[in-house]
A and B are shown apart, each in its own frame.
Chain A
């Protein structure tokens, strides 16, 4: 071997992309139509949410652009008063449904991702500590988790939301509503992360590389962060994906029940709540399109999570 370490390093960095492309997970991804379609749908929805201001024909939050005369325009048809046409129709206040869906998707996805991130950080931290330290700390953390699991997650989220609403002054309520929503959903969802990470930590803890680190006197914090954490992350990735779908649905449920996103920042759930009032009076599109997008998003993310779980578990292959 005459290669200097630098050229070897560069070569390895280049081949890492090739290796990732050639890896078994990537291969199973390319071979699975379900995974490909779900990934495409998810990506499309995320991109349209991110670029909503560029894509949306109207700004639904700017009252100056609204015309009440445009109210209840059916999709694809010209309004009988103004002659304007809207791709997916308009709601009672004349807002373009397509634009409100794009902006609603932004809120839904943001709350979903943030809530999962919060649940993940909390759950992984508590799971690592419970698994590694053990003893009464483990008992306390896992009993709290057990108690929380006896309530439906949505109930826990509503409870937290209610308490938070009670203690914030009324003038700030709308501003903090989104953040309260994130914390409420995140707190109702940390348990499964903690359980899985605790189990994986118990397995890793007994392995000899952890003994080797303890032998030289590394602190428990360093062992947890540097040695155990990277080795328990792959099941966390799977749970996070499936949790994302659940968090988006939880947000929609809360907003539908009127305790979630405020009407000033409508999420998909808020749009569905608004739309269901018109379902039986013939304006079906106000409910139908937001609900369809929510369904597509939740289903795509869920299927992606299912595929990831199978791909990362070699025993199922």
Chain B
């Protein structure tokens, strides 16, 4: 008998205007010891299934059809009290953000003991012993000591281990893990996933692993269910679904995953649901000023640039304490190339981008553009330099002013620099919006009327309005779904090729970097540890940290390579 069975589950959110069906006729079964992956893009209804099983649907959501069975007994119709008894005891949950799922005012042991006693009714001494055992089991060193610490004394990965220990308190049969590693760096992600795998094997726990990451699915799960807009489109053993996908949506999703092993010319875009809109960059190239400068010459030279932030403020400069975010980075970006910067969060990649863009003043060293020092002036970088550079930001939801109309947003840089005005500016804005695939009439709308991917296209149109020579992309796709990411990355490749743009491309995602960049710099704790040609770096990493990073990259060996064109 299956541990957990979901049959024909339909979840609705009735609102004032219409009823939104978040999950439609979903089927899913979990066997003991099995890790069942639930994959899909944002809004696919994956988390809603998890919440429905836990009885934690947010109002006004309700189960309007179907049955959820736990060990053969129906639990979808249980009242709040009966569900409360089941929740946490037989079925428990691991949330995405380990910081917010722990109470900062209690020690880890207190939180574990409270949960253990609530479920198992053990004495204080027994519960404490069990708490320490659990902390040991999730792989936290010095369990007896660390149990008496508060959540803020743990790192992100250790905190997620504590959350897993909490989920294990009551010896549950099913664990629902909702994006358990999304908030963590790759090196920690691998450890947490290993821990989940180990638990499932050893204790015969059934796990539903909800994620948007194909790498996580490929590495961790036994069975996978693919969801699209609330419906299950494909389900089966992981190797089979990823290797020989049947449904066109699954195919399109797998094709869009950046491969760590080969460099593609372009991402194949298999249309599904009419979501791909054309991007006519060749037309843009005709009106673009021809750049006669020689390819391969240094465009940007960063010479020992350093950035320090005040970590302890004081009136007397001698009493202040500093944190060095970037320490004497030295590299060059050549005319016409895409230069990548990779590293984990907090390694200083974005700080470098901001220093080059003139958003942060440098605390040491210089940035030269075509041989001229642009960081020496007292008033920040000179205006002629600002005209040559543009930037695409990470978060499409905060990079556009919500109170400005799209045409005003796109027009602002060109207008500010006095490059165009009046009808000529209007024509340029219309043309750009058309070329990025939104159509000129998009200019009359406000940003909130667009999706994340469309907003990122608006950002690109804004960046192109001044016809820059140098484009800084700071994690331009990390907030986007994988199929949208593929479209945006293709656009950036087109831009670079047809307009001879030079780019600084920042990402924490190694497969993306491999697809995009000609040369790559690796950052660790503010230090640039290695700079190499992309293919050389992936084939033969020199620095120990680079080797470590590459070893953590998901292999994705079993993925179907239908439609891929290797560069």
Binding site for B on A (CB under 8 A): 1, 3, 5, 8-9, 12, 27, 207-209, 211-218, 226-227, 230-231
Q: Would you call A216 and B386 a contact (CB within 8 A)?
A: yes
1/0 contact trace for B203-242 toward A, CB 8 Å? 0000000000000000000000000000000000000000
Q: Would you call B399 and A209 a contact (CB within 8 A)?
A: yes
Q: Is B444 an interface residue (CB 8 A)?
A: yes
Q: Would you call B416 and A216 a contact (CB within 8 A)?
A: yes
Looking at the assembled complex, report how far the CB atom of B468 sits from the nearest CB atom of chain A, in whole angstroms.
10
**How far is it, in angstroms, between the C-alpha of A46 and the C-alpha of B552 when the chains are bound?**
69
1/0 contact trace for B141-165 toward A, CB 8 Å? 0000000000000000000000000
Contact partner of A231 among B354, B403, B441, B466, CB < 8 A? B403
Q: Would you call A5 and B444 a contact (CB within 8 A)?
A: yes
Q: Would you call A217 and B441 a contact (CB within 8 A)?
A: no
Q: Would you call B16 and A27 a contact (CB within 8 A)?
A: yes
New A-B contacts (19) at CB < 8 Å, excluding given A209-B398, A215-B357, A218-B412: A1-B439, A5-B440, A5-B441, A5-B444, A8-B444, A207-B399, A208-B395, A208-B398, A209-B400, A213-B401, A213-B412, A214-B359, A215-B390, A216-B386, A216-B412, A217-B380, A218-B416, A227-B404, A230-B403
Jot down 8 A-B pairs with beta carbons below 8 A, ordered by A: A9-B444, A208-B399, A211-B354, A215-B357, A215-B390, A216-B386, A218-B416, A230-B401
Contacts of A226 in B (CB 8 A): 404
Q: Would you call A215 and B386 a contact (CB within 8 A)?
A: yes
**How far is it, in angstroms, between the C-alpha of A227 and the C-alpha of B416 when the chains are bound?**
14
Contacts of A218 in B (CB 8 A): 412, 416
**How far is it, in angstroms, between the C-alpha of A195 and the C-alpha of B393 when the chains are bound?**
29
Binding site for A on B (CB under 8 A): 16, 354, 357-359, 380, 383, 386, 389-391, 393-395, 398-404, 412-413, 416-417, 430, 439-441, 443-444, 462, 466
**How far is it, in angstroms, between the C-alpha of A1 and the C-alpha of B413 when the chains are bound?**
27
**How far is it, in angstroms, between the C-alpha of A211 and the C-alpha of B391 when the chains are bound?**
9
Please name the residue on chain A nearest to B414 by beta carbon. Answer: A216
Q: Which residue of A214, A215, A227 has the most chain B CB atoms within 10 A of its CB atom?
A: A215
Q: Would you call A212 and B416 a contact (CB within 8 A)?
A: no
Please name the residue on chain A nearest to B398 by beta carbon. Answer: A207
Looking at the assembled complex, report how far the CB atom of B317 sits from the nearest CB atom of chain A, in whole angstroms.
14
Looking at the assembled complex, report how far the CB atom of A229 sits from the nearest CB atom of chain B, in whole angstroms.
9
Q: Which residue of B16, B402, B441, B443 has the most chain A CB atoms within 10 A of its CB atom?
A: B441
Please name the residue on chain A nearest to B379 by beta carbon. Answer: A217
Looking at the assembled complex, report how far the CB atom of A307 sits from the nearest CB atom of chain B, in whole angstroms.
18
**How far is it, in angstroms, between the C-alpha of A215 and the C-alpha of B388 when the chains are bound?**
11
4 tightest A-B contacts by CB? A208-B399, A230-B403, A208-B393, A207-B398
Q: Is the interface of A mostly helix, strand, loop or mixed?
A: helix
Please name the residue on chain B nearest to A233 by beta carbon. Answer: B403
Contacts of B358 in A (CB 8 A): 215
Contact partner of B462 among A12, A212, A230, CB < 8 A? A212
Contacts of B444 in A (CB 8 A): 5, 8-9, 12
**How far is it, in angstroms, between the C-alpha of A27 and the C-alpha of B404 when the chains are bound?**
25
Q: Would you call B441 and A3 a contact (CB within 8 A)?
A: yes
Contacts of A215 in B (CB 8 A): 357-359, 386, 389-391
Given contacts A5-B440, A9-B444, contact A208 B413 (CB under 8 A): no
Q: Which residue of B399, B430, B466 has the most chain A CB atoms within 10 A of its CB atom?
A: B399
Contacts of A8 in B (CB 8 A): 441, 444
Looking at the assembled complex, report how far the CB atom of B134 sits from the nearest CB atom of chain A, in whole angstroms.
34
Looking at the assembled complex, report how far the CB atom of A29 sits from the nearest CB atom of chain B, in whole angstroms.
13
Contacts of A214 in B (CB 8 A): 359
Please name the residue on chain A nearest to B402 by beta carbon. Answer: A231
**How far is it, in angstroms, between the C-alpha of A9 and the C-alpha of B443 when the chains are bound?**
10
Q: Which residue of A216, A226, A227 has the most chain B CB atoms within 10 A of its CB atom?
A: A216
Contacts of B400 in A (CB 8 A): 209
Q: Would you call B357 and A208 a contact (CB within 8 A)?
A: no
Looking at the assembled complex, report how far the CB atom of A282 sits from the nearest CB atom of chain B, in whole angstroms.
55
**How far is it, in angstroms, between the C-alpha of A102 and the C-alpha of B20 when the chains are bound?**
52
Q: Which residue of B16, B401, B440 has the most chain A CB atoms within 10 A of its CB atom?
A: B401
**How far is it, in angstroms, between the C-alpha of A111 and the C-alpha of B401 when the chains are bound?**
35
Q: Would you call A217 and B439 a contact (CB within 8 A)?
A: no
Q: Would you call A211 and B359 a contact (CB within 8 A)?
A: yes
Looking at the assembled complex, report how far the CB atom of B377 sits from the nearest CB atom of chain A, in whole angstroms.
12
Contacts of B359 in A (CB 8 A): 211, 214-215
Looking at the assembled complex, report how far the CB atom of A138 sits from the nearest CB atom of chain B, in whole angstroms.
12
Q: Would you call B393 and A212 a contact (CB within 8 A)?
A: yes
Looking at the assembled complex, report how far the CB atom of A205 sits from the nearest CB atom of chain B, in whole angstroms.
11
Contact partner of A227 among B380, B401, B439, B462, CB < 8 A? B401
Contacts of B413 in A (CB 8 A): 216
Looking at the assembled complex, report how far the CB atom of A281 sits from the nearest CB atom of chain B, in whole angstroms.
57
Q: Would you call A216 and B441 a contact (CB within 8 A)?
A: no
Contact partner of A217 among B383, B393, B440, CB < 8 A? B383
Contacts of A227 in B (CB 8 A): 401, 404
**How far is it, in angstroms, between the C-alpha of A241 and the C-alpha of B383 when the chains are bound?**
43
**How far is it, in angstroms, between the C-alpha of A216 and the C-alpha of B465 when the chains are bound?**
12
**How far is it, in angstroms, between the C-alpha of A211 and the C-alpha of B355 when the chains are bound?**
12
Please name the residue on chain B nearest to A212 by beta carbon. Answer: B399
Q: Would you call B391 and A212 a contact (CB within 8 A)?
A: yes
Q: Which residue of A208, A212, A226 has the most chain B CB atoms within 10 A of its CB atom?
A: A212
Looking at the assembled complex, report how far the CB atom of B135 sits from the nearest CB atom of chain A, in whole angstroms.
35
Contacts of B354 in A (CB 8 A): 211
Looking at the assembled complex, report how far the CB atom of B415 sits from the nearest CB atom of chain A, in whole angstroms.
9
**How far is it, in angstroms, between the C-alpha of A1 and the C-alpha of B442 when the chains are bound?**
11
**How far is it, in angstroms, between the C-alpha of A12 and the C-alpha of B441 when the chains are bound?**
11
Please name the residue on chain B nearest to A3 by beta carbon. Answer: B441
Looking at the assembled complex, report how far the CB atom of A234 sits from the nearest CB atom of chain B, in whole angstroms.
10
**How far is it, in angstroms, between the C-alpha of A230 and the C-alpha of B441 when the chains are bound?**
24
**How far is it, in angstroms, between the C-alpha of A1 and the C-alpha of B430 when the chains are bound?**
14
Contacts of A230 in B (CB 8 A): 401, 403-404
Contacts of A5 in B (CB 8 A): 430, 440-441, 443-444
**How far is it, in angstroms, between the C-alpha of A315 and the C-alpha of B395 when the chains are bound?**
22
**How far is it, in angstroms, between the C-alpha of A211 and the C-alpha of B399 when the chains are bound?**
8
Looking at the assembled complex, report how far the CB atom of B128 sits from the nearest CB atom of chain A, in whole angstroms.
38
**How far is it, in angstroms, between the C-alpha of A15 and the C-alpha of B462 when the chains are bound?**
27
**How far is it, in angstroms, between the C-alpha of A8 and the C-alpha of B444 when the chains are bound?**
8
